[in-house]
């Protein structure tokens, strides 16, 4: 059911939260736009400016790697300045209250951890852009180190342990999904009684399969997004409003 006015949407959401014992939020880029991080598909979103660099291109081409890192450094002031918004803080309040055991996110911005979720309770489907990893052996690197090498040599660094390329710890198009995160997200979606899909256009698969899975396993499904999604038809409640406005009332003290 799509609710047209925000107040009754918030009321119905409050009732559903009160009735639920295990809530799993599933978040997309829309929860972080009020924190200054653009999403991908809205006007002015990242894709209207840059074509994504697929994984095989990153691996095959030094120019592609240099370009990927140039873009990442260009975004650094935005990621570094971002603080959790009302949506993040509301979910952190429900987590502290024991209603949310863990959160599944498509986001790579680390804002759920900053809002108070323990890192082990944030299931990151697309990785995390606040640090780097070797694509061969998985060794982690600070972005500061990558930037230092980039500036000193004019190009993207290779791993100090195995010489393979170093990439932000994110999942690019064409890169295998992280098995452990996919497994954990599947279990969480299957065993909750309320699933909240927040700020996702629900077009990026396989991540977009989780709301559907939760619904098929008996959970009630709520979609909070300011534009229609392909799963609105199967949702128990669709709140087509701003996320900060919708979740603001659930921020605890």
Near ligand NAD in 148-207, by CB under 6 A: 199-201, 204
Residue selected from 130, 172, 225, 231 as contacting ligand NAD according to rule CB under 6 A: 225
Near ligand NAD in 101-140, by CB under 6 A: 106-109, 126
Out of 88, 112, 121, 126, pick the active-site residue.
126
- Least separation in angstroms between residue 222's CB and ligand NAD is 13
Residue selected from 3, 12, 22, 42 as contacting ligand NAD according to rule CB under 6 A: 42
- For ligand NAD, give the closer residue by CB, 186 or 201: 201
**Helices 143-153 and 62-81 sit at what angle, rounded to 10 degrees?**
130
DSSP the chain: -EE-SHHHHHHHHHHHHHH-SSEEEEE-GGGGGGGT---SSSTTSHHHH-----HHHHHH-HHHHHHHHHHHHHHHHHHHH----HHHHHHHHHHHTTS-S-EEE---S-HHHHHT--GGGEEESSEEEEEEEETTT--EE-HHHHHHHHHHHSSPPBPTTT-PBEEEEEPPTTSPPPHHHHHHHHHHHHT-SEEEEES--S-STTTTHHHHHHHHTT-EEEEE-SS--TTGGG-SEEE-S-HHHHHGGG---
- For ligand NAD, give the closer residue by CB, 93 or 106: 106
- For ligand NAD, give the closer residue by CB, 28 or 157: 28
- Least separation in angstroms between residue 43's CB and ligand NAD is 10
- 89 interacts with ligand NAD by CB under 6 A: no
- Least separation in angstroms between residue 62's CB and ligand NAD is 24
- 226 interacts with ligand NAD by CB under 6 A: yes
- Least separation in angstroms between residue 221's CB and ligand NAD is 16
CA–CA separation, 249 and 139 (whole Å): 41
- 40 interacts with ligand NAD by CB under 6 A: yes
Residue 126 designated active-site: yes
Residues annotated catalytic, as ranges: 126
Query: What residues make contact with ligand NAD under the rule CB under 6 A?
Result: 28-30, 32-34, 37, 39-42, 45-46, 106-109, 126, 199-201, 204, 225-227, 242-243
């Amino acid at each position: 059911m799509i609710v047209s006015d925000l107040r009754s949407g918030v009321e119905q959401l409050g009732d559903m939260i009160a009735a639920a014992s295990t809530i799993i939020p599933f978040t997309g880029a829309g929860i972080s736009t009020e924190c200054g991080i653009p999403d991908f598909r809205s006007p002015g979103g990242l894709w209207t400016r840059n074509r994504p660099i697929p994984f095989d291109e990153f691996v095959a081409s030094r120019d592609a790697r240099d370009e990927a890192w140039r873009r990442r450094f260009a975004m650094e002031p935005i990621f570094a300045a971002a603080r959790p918004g009302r949506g993040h803080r509301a979910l952190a309040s429900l987590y502290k209250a024991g209603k949310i055991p863990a959160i599944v996110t498509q986001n790579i911005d680390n804002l759920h951890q900053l809002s108070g979720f323990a890192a082990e309770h944030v299931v990151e489907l697309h990785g995390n852009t606040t640090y780097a990893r070797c694509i061969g052996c998985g060794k982690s690197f600070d972005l500061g180190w990558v930037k230092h090498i980039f500036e000193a040599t004019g190009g993207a660094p290779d791993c100090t342990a195995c010489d393979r390329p170093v990439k932000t710890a994110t999942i690019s198009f064409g890169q295998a999904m992280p098995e452990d995160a996919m497994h954990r997200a599947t279990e969480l979606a299957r065993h909750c009684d309320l699933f909240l899909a927040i700020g996702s256009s629900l077009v990026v698969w396989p991540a977009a399969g989780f709301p559907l899975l939760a619904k098929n396993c008996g959970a009630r499904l709520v979609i909070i997004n300011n534009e229609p999604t392909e799963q609105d038809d199967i949702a128990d409640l669709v709140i087509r409003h701003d996320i900060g406005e919708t979740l603001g009332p659930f921020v605890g003290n």
